[in-house]
Structure formats: C-alpha cells, structure tokens
Amino acid sequence: MLSLKTIREHPEFVAQGASDKGEKIDIKGILTLDGKVRKIIKDVEDLKAMRNRSSEEISQLKQVGKDAREQISEMQDVSKRIKELDGELAENREELHEKLMWVPNIPHESVPVGKDESANEHVRSWGEKPKFDFEPLPHLELATKLDLLDMERGAAISGSGFPLYTGQGAILERALINFMLDHHLQRGYREVRTPFITLRQAVETTGQLPKLEDDMYIVEQDDLFLIPTAEVPVTNIHKEEIMSGKDLPKQYVAYSPCFRREAGSYGRDTRGLLRVHQFNKVELVKFVKPEDSYDELESLTSDAESILQALGLHYRVALLSTGDLSFAAAKCYDLEVWAPGEKRWLEVSSCSNFEDFQARRANIRYRKEDGKTSFVHTLNGSGVATPRLMVALLETYQQDDGTVWIPEPLQPYMHTSLLK
C-alpha cells in the first residue's frame, strides 16, 4: 500500500506510475476522501476540547452552587455531535481504505516503460541451447512414453489443469523440491513450512487482493483462500511486528503447493505442464532494510538462478517492463528457461522487490539504531516452480532412445541417473 503522504504530495507521479502499469486509479476521489477524513478528525478534536472546557465549567459552577443546566445541555449536544462525526469518520475511512487498496505499487525508476511483455529487457543469459542429432520431443510425449505423468486421470479426479505425477515422475518432482530446499539452506535461508490456506487479510497483505480474487480458489463458508504461492503465508509471518534492525535481513525458504484458477487464461498453454491450476514451488522471501533492498533483489535473483545453473539448464533473465509488472511489485526479474521440445522460453521464476508496499499493508516494521521505527522492504522469488522446470529438464536431457538423463545434483535424490 502506498502511503497517503506520497499520494498527497505527488498525485501526478502516482497517477502516472499506475498508468504505466495499465491501472486506472481514482486519485481525485482519494484526495477528496482524505480531506474529509482529516477535516472530521479536526472537528472531533475541537469538539472534544470544547467538551473538556464545558466539563470544567460545569464543575466550577456546581462547586459554588450555581445552575449548570444550560452548560450540561450544551455538553450533551456536543457529545451527540461527536458520536455522529465518529460514525462519519469510520465510514469515510473505510471508503478511503477500499480506494487505496486499488492503488498499485509505483515502478522503480530503472524499470523500462512499456505496455506489456514486448517491452521487457533481456539483461543476461547463461549457457547455450542444447544441440541434438535428432528431433527433440515435447515434454508431454516424453512423459507419456516414460509413464511419468497422467493428465487424463488427473482431470478425472479434479478437472483439467490438475496433473497426476506417476512412478518416476512423482519421484522426480519430489527430488527437485528436496534438492532446491537443501540448496537454498546452504545459501543461508531458513526453512519454514506454512499453512496452505490463509485468511483474506493475508492475501490482501501481499497484494493479490482485491484485484485477483477471481483467480483464487476460495473456501467461501469460512472466507479462506488456498494460497497462490508461499509468498502469502511467509510474508505474513511477521505481520504487526517490530523487528530489530540487527536481525535484518531475514530470509526464508518454503515449499508449498500453489493453487491458481487463472480465470482469464482458459485455452492458453493447456498441454501438459505448461499451465496448470495446482503446482509445487519452492519460494524465497526476504525482509530487509530499505537501503539494502535493491542489492538484495540482485542477490535473490542470483539465488534463484543458481538452481538453473546447478541443473545445467540454458536460461535468460528479463527485466519486466511497467506493463508486465505485478500489482504489488516495484521491480521484477523473470527467469526464462529454454525448452527445446517446445522450442520456446518458459518462465520458471519471478524475483520481485515490493519496497514497503506489502510491509505497510501488514504493518511490518523494524527498529533502527536511533530507536525510531520504519517499514521493512519485502522481496520474494520462486526458487523455483517445478512444472516448467520439469518440462525443461525432460526436453533438455532426452536421449535419442527416448530415455532421459538425470542431472548429477538430482541423482542422490532419485537413486538413478536415467529415466527409462
């Protein structure tokens, strides 16, 4: 959430930043409501001061035996008006809060301006596209032949977009999850295992709500949400807390299943594991000092990249344009891995700096050396998601006889070097 101070002092800057993200916001309505709220607060404070003075006057009149009925009547009228204004204040604050929830984070100055992913900048790549002396197969054909995946039975259980991993396919995904968790633990992250269902307020904190509610799976009778990413529960670990600056940065790694309706994506990339409604992911989350957050973003991105490097997968890093940024992010890098069977790049990770946007929503602060408190900056990134990672692995390491070689870091988890 942006601070009201920023919106008051820089309304055109905020409106332009939102517009660059493709968002329309009611700046005029926000400022009008803000003015109403501040006026009501002042009026209430003035009336309370008047009531205090009247109370003292009534006490003095009673002490000397004089009639104080007129003053008592006036004080009762003032108290009634204060109660009315308190009601108006609550209503206006609620309306203001609702409008503020639709104001996106403002893109960082280093983010390229553009309306969509076509304006993204590719900042670096690693490795080379694998070469084959045969036509590489797409992952679904490989997975079907090797009995790694059964999309039809998964659909019979839960509907389309819910994969059923079988045999060595299930073992491979578990191996990837365990390998990634162990890898990030060695890089200084602390593992947590969170609930996979959260309160509405938790999803508001991270910025998926209110905008993306139609893309969420909801337990309506309890107003609970299946998490779209472990970012949601992990970021909320420190909600309403004041941390010591000496304890920052804090960095967590968490595995979770992720649930996404993706209501606007029906018909897109529906084959195999390219776009699914339930998938597994290892998530990285950081809480850092504001002055360190952009260095920490580079470090976080490097941590996610190290997974792909360890597995020997060709990938590139894209700096997202304003129009491709998420609602809550100020800056984001996407990691895109090459899938030779699909013959295209697949996003496997987004690494984002939210600055204090999420921390303001969750009231997560830290105490500085001078004793004052300030909002932390939060960052997160996939470290990484398994479905498209499996696509790239199967397609990159396929052999001409239809088998798939297992990268060395995964072999201790798989207890084999070959899928056959």
Active centre residues (catalytic): 260, 275, 347, 350, 388
Residues 6+ apart with CB under 8 A from 348: 308, 315, 335, 336, 337, 382, 384, 385, 388, 389, 392
Phi, psi (deg, nearest 5) at residue 361: -65, -35
Residues 6+ apart with CB under 8 A from 3: 360
d(CA 250, CA 255): 17
d(CA 229, CA 91): 33
Give the SS3 label for residue 364. Answer: coil
DSSP output for 176-231: HHHHHHHHHHHTT-EE----SEEEHHHHHHHT-TTTTGGGS-EETTTTEEE-SSTH
- Residue bearing tokens 């409501």: 33
Residue type, 233: P
Nearest Cα neighbor of 339 from 361, 364, 372, 314 is: 314
Question: Exposure pattern of 150-185 as b/e (b: 16+ CB <10 Å)?
Answer: bbeebeeeeeebbbbbbebbebbbebbbebbbebbe
Give the SS3 label for residue 302. Answer: helix
d(CA 31, CA 41): 15
Give the SS3 label for residue 13. Answer: helix
Distances from the Cα of 256 to the Cαs of 11, 174, 186, 201, 209, in angstroms?
Answer: 39, 12, 19, 19, 20
Cis amide linkage into residue 249, ω under 30° from 0: yes
Cis amide linkage into residue 384, ω under 30° from 0: yes
Residues 6+ apart with CB under 8 A from 138: 271, 272, 341, 342, 395
Residues paired with 251 in a beta bridge:
286
